[in-house]
């Protein structure tokens, strides 16, 4: 069974991306940009935390990725 996890922005709590559990572990530590509020979220332990926005060109994946 494939369970999708909805990852919510740490800042505005809108769903940034939805991924199956099996894929989330492979994306640990990546940064995702919240299109709603523009804050970066870093994926850690299956949750979003405040991301690092100093290097916005590194590890950015859009919603269509994966």
Q: Does 30 bind Zn ion (CB under 5 A)?
A: no
Closest approach of Zn ion to the CB of residue 23, in Å: 21
Q: Does 11 bind Zn ion (CB under 5 A)?
A: yes
Per CB under 5 A, which region of 6-14, 23-31, 42-50, 58-66 contacts Zn ion? Answer: 6-14
Residues 6+ apart with CB under 8 A from 28: 43, 44, 45
Half-sphere exposure of residue 35, counting CA atoms within 13 Å on the CB side?
A: 7
Binding site for Zn ion (CB under 5 A): 9, 11-12, 34, 36-37
């Amino acid at each position: 069974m494939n369970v999708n996890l909805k990852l919510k922005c740490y800042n505005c709590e809108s769903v940034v991306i939805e991924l199956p559990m099996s894929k989330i572990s492979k994306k640990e530590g990546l940064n995702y940009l919240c299109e709603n509020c523009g804050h970066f979220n870093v994926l850690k332990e299956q949750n979003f935390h405040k991301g690092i926005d100093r290097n916005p060109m590194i590890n950015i994946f859009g919603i269509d990725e994966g």
